[in-house]
Amino acid sequence: MDDMEKTQVMESSEDFAAMLEDSEASVHTGQVVKGQIVQLSDDGVIVDIPGKADGLIKKNDLVTAEPKVGDEIEAEVVKLNDGEGYVLLSERKVLATRNWEKLVSEYDEGSCVEAVGREAVNGGLIADVMGVRAFIPASHLSRRYVENIGEFVGKTMTVKIIEVDKAKHRIVASRKAFLAEEKKKAWETIEKDQVVKGIVRRLTDFGAFVDIGGVDGLIHVTDLAWHRVKHPSDVVTPGQEVEVKITGVDREKERIQLSLKAMQPQPWDTAEEKYPVGSIVEGKVVRITTFGAFVELEPGLDGLVHISQCALRRIAKVEDAVQVGQEVRVKVLKVDKEAKRISLSIREALTEEVDYNAEVQGLEFEDVPAEEVTEAVEETPVDAE
C-alpha cells in the first residue's frame, strides 16, 4: 500500500472515529437543551430531547405554572442519569441564570419583586423569585408573629431583597420590609374624612380592625351601625371588603378611627317623613325604665312611650303594661329630628282602636263599657324575650 492509500485510510478512520464519537456523544452537565413535554407525572414532567435520552424535570425545578403535553420547554442538564435512565433537568436553573443579574440590580436599587412560596422549612420559607431560590426568615414574613409558615406555600407575595450572596447565587428576602414601605406610603396619603375601601382582618369585643391598604384602622362597635350592636360579628366578618370613612387620624400614636355607619343612611334624616305625627305604627319594646318604655321602630331609631302613655288605665310601673320584646302598636305624638327624640303613645293607639270599634258598632266612646276598654289592654299580646 503506497503512502497515498495509507493517508486515505487514516483519514477515513479518523472521520469514522469522529462520527462514532458524535453518535455516542451525550449531553453534558450544565448544558441548556430544548425539548417537548411528552408526559406529566406526579414527580414532574418527562421531556423528549431530540436525539438524546428522555429528560425529567421534577416539580421543584419546574417554573411553568401549568405544563401541558406538547409544550416546548427549555431546561439545564443537572445530572446525566438519575438512576432511572432519565437525564435530570431543571427549568428553574435556566431562568435563574438569566434573571440573576436583574435580581442583583433590583437589590442595588432597593426595589421590590414578586415571590411564590415553595416550601416551609425550619426558620422560614423557601420561595421562588424570578426562578431564583430565595429564603424568607419567619420573622420577615409578616408584621406580626406567624404561627403557621405553611400558609404561605403556594402564595404569591411581594418582597424586598435584603441580602445577596453573589458567590453562591443565594438571596434573602423580606415581606415585612415591603409591608413597612407600604405602611409608610399609606400614612402619607391618609387624611380625615376620606372614604376608603378595606378588608376586615380581625374582630374584638370592642370593634373591628380593617386593613385600608398597608395600615390598620379600627371601627369601634358604636360606629359599625346606627343601631345598637352587641358584637362586631353581628355586622362584619373577617375577610369582608368594606367601604368606610376615616373619622380620626393620630399620626403620633399611629391610630386611625373608621366608621362604617357613616356610609349608611342616617335613620333620623327621614324620621319625620316615615313617621309623621298622628300615624300609628308598629314597633318592638327594647328597653324599659322607671319613666317609660323605649320602642324600636327600625334599627337605629327608638321612640319613648312615657309611663302615662303605656296603657288606657293608670299603672304603677311600666312592666304592668308591656314587656321587653313585645310587639306593640303606637301612635306618633312628636318627632324632634334635631334632638333625636320621638314621643310615642300606646294609650292613644288603643283609644283610636276602641273609637273605631265603637264607631263600627254605632256607639259613642262614652257608651263603651269600661270592662271592654280594660279587655282591649289586657288582650294586647306580650311576647317577652
Span 119-148, pLDDT tens digits:
899 999 999 888 788 899 999 998 888 889
Over pLDDT 90: what percentage of the chain?
A: 41
Phi and psi at residue 365, in whole multiples of 5°?
-55, -35
Q: Is the dihedral of CA 323, 327, 328, 332 positive or negative?
A: positive
Distance CA 329, CA 145 (A): 55
pLDDT (average), residues 277-291: 94
User: Which region among 233-247, 328-342, 370-384 has the lowest average model confidence (pLDDT)?
Assistant: 370-384
Reported confidence tier of residue 345, pLDDT bands at 50, 70, 90: very high
Is 80 exceeded by the pLDDT of residue 189?
Answer: yes
pLDDT of residue 304: 96
pLDDT of residue 308: 93
Is 90 exceeded by the pLDDT of residue 95?
Answer: no
Reported confidence tier of residue 34, pLDDT bands at 50, 70, 90: confident
**What's the whole-model pTM score?**
0.53
pLDDT (average), residues 314-323: 93
pLDDT (average), residues 345-370: 64
Distance CA 306, CA 290 (A): 9
Distance CA 260, CA 366 (A): 53
- List of domains in the chain: 32-97 (2.40.50.140), 110-179 (2.40.50.140), 190-263 (2.40.50.140), 268-378 (2.40.50.140)
